[in-house]
């Protein structure tokens, strides 16, 4: 007898097995990644979502904290065809509901055909279909999470030290931990700042690069970060990853839009428009750049032609929609961080000031 239920916005209710008890709701998305479940579950970009794994067995190489991208699990719940006990016990210890023994192929197909949708989950000995439907009824659109940055950002600034070769001001909109580590490995000191940091704080740091991180939700709701980019555009070299690219594009007069079901996985092909080279990338986002504004599109997704890279030589800007830090893999695009620090060294800039 089922002890878990998953209610979808299309009216269906799936019976399942409870692996970690609880009730919750969120936007239902899926990832095609067949490894990296620890990285995915600790990626802040999954905040307020319910993550479905399309790969049938999740947990076959255990759970190791050194692979985590943050200090907690971020999806509101997790769904798989089968979770191992290691992952189920980890999710239960985090207070995150988890269910398995249901047809994830059906769920993934539904999301691909109908788009990311609201979802309600009830799991545990007292779970009922009605409880899952009640959770579903309380689900809100991702764009309505107006201050989601506060849920995932650092409260206070801190520094991750490299060799002091460059100073990077990294605005934490929900960053993966492998972003600052990728920069410190290349000699930079990384000053991690809250998502709503003010211009005066950045000006006092006088960084070589202003870097906007990845994160969850609608980029239109990160008004402070966008204003920061507008403030220092043309004055400090700018970089961004994922949500960071979207925020930078909006700051340069562009626009963003909600995707049907987003890009979530480790096998997204990206083509460089200058060289024609195609690299495989890790991606996790539900919004994309619809209009690059004053920036040039330099890379596109092979599958749907969405913008994957934006640049401006005049203003020293380089952004990527995917995750070059490659956790979990592949490693095709790690050179992005070299490009960022080369821009820091060679990009024309003046000492930072705030109006």
Q: CA 283, CA 261: separation in Å to the nearest integer?
A: 12
Q: Which of the residues 38, 135, 235, 325 is marked catalytic?
A: 325
Q: Which of the residues 242, 263, 264, 315 is marked catalytic?
A: 242
Peptide bond into 330 cis (omega under 30): yes
**CB-based burial, 64-94: b 16+ in 10 Å, e otherwise:** eeebbbbeebbbbbbbbbbbbeebbbbbbeb
Note the Cα 324 to chain centre separation in Å.
Answer: 12
**286 marked as binding residue:** yes
**217 marked as binding residue:** yes
Q: Is 315 among the catalytic positions?
A: no
**243 marked as binding residue:** yes
Q: Is 74 among the catalytic positions?
A: no
Q: Is 325 among the catalytic positions?
A: yes
Contacts of 162 (CB under 8 A, 6+ apart): 183, 184, 185, 186, 187, 188, 189, 190
Q: CA 34, CA 285: separation in Å to the nearest integer?
A: 18
Q: CA 80, CA 97: separation in Å to the nearest integer?
A: 12
**246 marked as binding residue:** yes
Of 327, 302, 307, 158, the residue nearest 240 (C-alpha): 307
The CA distances from residue 154 to 13, 109, 172, 176, 271, in Å, are: 37, 36, 7, 12, 34
| Residue positions annotated with a catalytic role | 242, 323, 325
Annotated binding site for L-glutamine: 45, 215, 217, 243, 246, 284, 286-287
């Amino acid at each position: 007898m089922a002890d878990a239920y998953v209610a979808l916005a299309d009216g269906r209710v799936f019976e399942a097995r409870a692996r970690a008890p609880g009730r919750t709701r969120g936007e239902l998305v899926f990832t095609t990644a067949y490894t990296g479940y620890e990285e995915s579950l600790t990626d802040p970009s999954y905040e307020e979502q319910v993550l479905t794994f399309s790969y049938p067995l999740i947990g076959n190489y255990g759970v190791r904290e050194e692979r985590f991208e943050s200090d907690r699990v971020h999806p509101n719940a997790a769904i798989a065809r089968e979770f191992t006990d290691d992952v189920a016990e980890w999710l239960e210890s985090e207070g995150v509901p988890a269910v398995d023994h249901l047809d994830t192929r059906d769920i993934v197909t539904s999301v691909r055909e109908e788009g990311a949708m609201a979802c309600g989950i009830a799991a545990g000995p007292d779970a009922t279909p009605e409880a899952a439907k009640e959770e579903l009824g309380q689900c809100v659109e991702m764009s309505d999470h107006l201050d989601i940055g506060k849920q995932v950002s650092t409260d206070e600034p801190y520094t991750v030290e490299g060799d002091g070769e460059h100073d990077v001001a990294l605005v934490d909109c929900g960053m993966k931990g492998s972003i600052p580590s990728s920069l410190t490995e290349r000699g930079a000191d990384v000053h991690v700042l809250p998502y709503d940091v003010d211009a005066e704080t950045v000006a006092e740091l006088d960084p070589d690069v202003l870097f906007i991180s990845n994160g969850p939700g609608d980029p239109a709701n990160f008004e402070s970060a966008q204003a920061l980019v507008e403030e220092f555009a043309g004055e400090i070299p700018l970089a961004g990853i994922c949500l960071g690219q979207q925020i930078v594009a909006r700051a340069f007069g562009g626009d963003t839009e909600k995707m049907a079901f987003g890009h979530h996985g480790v096998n997204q092909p990206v083509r460089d428009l200058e060289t024609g080279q195609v690299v495989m990338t890790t991606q996790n986002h539900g919004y994309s750049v619809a209009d690059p504004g004053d920036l040039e599109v330099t890379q596109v997704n092979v599958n749907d032609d969405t913008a994957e890279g934006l640049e401006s030589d005049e203003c020293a800007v380089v952004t990527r929609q995917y995750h070059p830090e490659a956790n979990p893999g592949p490693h095709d695009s790690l050179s992005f961080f070299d490009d960022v620090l080369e821009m820091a060294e060679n990009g024309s800039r003046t000492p930072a000031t705030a109006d």
